[in-house]
Chains A and B, each alone.
Chain A
């Protein structure tokens, strides 16, 4: 330590005040170095630590750049550039090695920090990013490949006395993080009768969802709200309990049950949030009858405003966009789009409709029936023929299941394909969606969060032969039946909502405005 000794002399001759400050700083440095020591494994770094300590104890300010530990963002206010110019000459080699070691240390610490955060993320439920935002909980239904999450879910359902639905069939590896159920094994078969925990209206609703009797975003939300109204009517507050808290707790197992029957949609999620908020806002001195009627009223208002009146407003805006002689293409069965077309027909617009349908759900036939009954002239094709029929089309109207915060449209699988082909032929694409379907999530592809329907639906019998009958026996064969897909915003030209006609990229603005209102 010849060089440090030399500089030490130099430093101490400078000024006692400086050295005092320096000493305080050095103490801090030492503390940090001790922390570093704990995190380190290398002997070499420890050696350099010792070197450093002895060096710092000897010479305060001589080599500020090399003396300070990596964490200190603020460089030494001291200064001494003069000795620094001297010092590097003889101390070249050790200085470099110190810098190298520092860099190593830095890299190692960052790696450890990252791995710690990674571990936290894996556990999932507790992943909190601390300073940034509120806790970000990953929903359970997209973590099926994590056994811890499954165990937690099983425990929760046991507590609530709801049976757990088991997955069915071989799952394609890309989707192993999602559930896949069979329609032939509904959840209700595992329930005991009479069930004390779950209200019969909810059981009926769950069955209707899982068998596909009630399908479509609006229909499911309205059915859910009606079932909740029934629940509220039959509810009595137990003694020593407050209505606002107890009712919310009662609703939780119902929601889990419905989730098991069929994953909740974005619109249903928003409706449930609204109801819970209303319930918890009920003042405690309110009498039970009054509270219940107030809640029922709220629900009715919600349905009326967000669904019925919204549909009327959207129809009004859309009719401006439909001109005489138009050929309009629609996909699948969207209650909103059907409503718009029927209204436009009533207002004596002359147009014809092309209904595009796809296997295996074949929902387009339902839309076809409704439109033909009104007297609208229709054409019907399957989705593989869409590039044949598109040159005739002047506009495409699509419905949506949800609008995500980054502008992507989540809708029935096949929607993005139609938007793609329409874009290639330069046909305008209009999406119609009520504002209560806007949700905070973001998603860029159709894999991370989706719903897998019963894979047996893809099987078809033609001319007496069913090719895929024994797909279970064959090891390397899998069937994939997706329900939703996301359409990027550059394929969509306009979104018609009850607030007006907006481009896809304005969705987060609407969400913000809504949150501020509430």
Chain B
């Protein structure tokens, strides 16, 4: 029977993907590009939609919720499903999305039973919408890069940290028309800044590599700081590569604008809670190698990968739909995600 085979095949694929994600930090190279991850997640979810057995939208949402507990892209897909369902039911989208207090009180909560209705065309619609999402994902970097000339003028000194594909595309696009100077802080211990610098200098941009320790020393000559990030949190704060908080503080001290280039799929509805719970660590071997054997046993070594940057230090977000202030992020959140899906 092809059915159950397909199902087992699917679960295997899901398992493989999840373990890959977990290992993503040290296995396939540090900090796998988030764009790739998002794309693969979405593709996987599309496969689930196509192959898993489900009869109504409610079932589908259950399945996706179960599989996608660790994947934020699943939330986008859930939102898409709701939209499609609402559309096929004939009610207007806006009415559904407005979570006004009045509606909450009168309708007594959008009841889950409504989703039990079965629509044949729902599957096709959902898959189509997911495809749209995929194309959007692929085009984000170009969209952001197109806005580069609005933000960079000639003879500027721009500072960045670590390696971000979005920022790389952004700067290369601006370099086609303007001449400016870039300072890259290598980001110990992974030193991704080196790769960024080589790639930028090959594109003809004047680049300088500095050590992390020199960030504050050099900041007085910098005109703008442009960084990428791993995630944008619901309050407008960032979860970015370690060292970014120091960079943001130094920029604030010198009143230098801090610009974050982040495509929309990096938005996460989570708020920062206690710092301990959202950090990811890697092996301390990166920091203190095993050659220092005799002291290694008596010493605690920490190697956090991410930093939290509060929204007060950020000047502007540039995303594929334009530029926003950090205080606007919560609004974008409600457009992209349904509030009931915030707890996955």
Is B189 in the interface zone, CB < 8 Å from A?
yes
Chain B contact residue count (CB 8 A cutoff): 50
Which chain A residues lie closer than 8 Å to B209 at the CB level? 458, 468, 477-480
Whether B307 lies near A387 (C-beta < 8 A) is yes
Whether B194 lies near A445 (C-beta < 8 A) is no
Nearest 8 pairs of A and B residues by beta carbon: A414-B213, A384-B243, A467-B194, A485-B217, A358-B213, A477-B201, A387-B245, A446-B217
Whether A417 lies near B213 (C-beta < 8 A) is yes
Which chain A residues lie closer than 8 Å to B250 at the CB level? 417, 420
Q: Scan residues 244-285 of chain B and give those whose CB is less than 8 A from a CB of chain A.
A: 245-246, 249-250, 253, 275, 279
Whether B212 lies near A485 (C-beta < 8 A) is no
18 chain-A/chain-B pairs, Cβ below 8 angstroms: A359-B186, A359-B211, A365-B288, A369-B295, A382-B189, A383-B243, A384-B246, A385-B242, A413-B217, A414-B212, A417-B213, A420-B249, A446-B218, A458-B209, A475-B201, A476-B206, A477-B209, A478-B208
| Bound-complex Cα distance A482 to B183 (A) | 14
User: Which residue of B212, B275, B295 contacts A382 across the interface (Cβ within 8 Å)?
Assistant: B212
Whether A381 lies near B186 (C-beta < 8 A) is no
Whether A480 lies near B214 (C-beta < 8 A) is yes
Q: Scan residues 185-210 of chain B and give those whose CB is less than 8 A from a CB of chain A.
A: 186-191, 194-195, 197-198, 201-202, 204-210
Is B110 in the interface zone, CB < 8 Å from A?
no
Q: Scan residues 208-243 of chain A and give those whose CB is less than 8 A from a CB of chain B.
A: none
Which chain A residues lie closer than 8 Å to B216 at the CB level? 416-417, 420, 485
| Bound-complex Cα distance A518 to B70 (A) | 71
Which chain A residues lie closer than 8 Å to B202 at the CB level? 474
Most A CB contacts (10 A, CB to CB) among B211, B250, B253 go to B211
Whether A468 lies near B299 (C-beta < 8 A) is no
Q: Which residue of A lies closest to B287 (CB)?
A: A382
Whether A380 lies near B299 (C-beta < 8 A) is yes
Most A CB contacts (10 A, CB to CB) among B209, B242, B279, B295 go to B209
User: What is the interface of chain A mostly: helix, strand, loop, or mixed?
Assistant: mixed
Chain A contact residue count (CB 8 A cutoff): 51
Which chain B residues lie closer than 8 Å to A467 at the CB level? 191, 194-195, 197-198
Which chain B residues lie closer than 8 Å to A476 at the CB level? 201, 204-207
| Bound-complex Cα distance A477 to B301 (A) | 33
Is B177 in the interface zone, CB < 8 Å from A?
no
Are A379 and B302 also in contact (CB < 8 A) when A387-B307, A413-B213, A446-B217 are? yes
- A: residues with CB less than 8 A from B are 172, 174, 358-360, 365, 368-369, 372, 377-389, 391, 412-414, 416-417, 420-421, 424, 445-447, 458, 460, 462, 467-468, 471, 474-482, 485-486
Whether B246 lies near A417 (C-beta < 8 A) is yes
Whether A460 lies near B217 (C-beta < 8 A) is no
**Closest chain A CB from B56 CB (angstroms):** 46
Which chain B residues lie closer than 8 Å to A360 at the CB level? 211
Q: Which residue of A lies closest to B302 (CB)?
A: A381
Which chain A residues lie closer than 8 Å to B197 at the CB level? 467-468, 477
Given contacts A424-B249, A478-B207, 9 further A-B contacts (CB under 8 A): A174-B221, A358-B213, A381-B301, A384-B212, A385-B302, A412-B213, A417-B217, A420-B246, A476-B204
Which chain B residues lie closer than 8 Å to A368 at the CB level? 295, 299
**Closest chain B CB from A440 CB (angstroms):** 22
Whether B195 lies near A378 (C-beta < 8 A) is no
Q: Which residue of A lies closest to B209 (CB)?
A: A479
Is B292 in the interface zone, CB < 8 Å from A?
yes
Is B33 in the interface zone, CB < 8 Å from A?
no
Q: Which residue of B lies closest to A474 (CB)?
A: B201
Whether B300 lies near A388 (C-beta < 8 A) is no
Whether A391 lies near B275 (C-beta < 8 A) is yes
**Closest chain A CB from B36 CB (angstroms):** 19
Whether A379 lies near B301 (C-beta < 8 A) is yes
Q: Mark B113-146, 1 if CB is under 8 A from A, else 0.
A: 0000000000000000000000000000000000
Whether A388 lies near B217 (C-beta < 8 A) is no
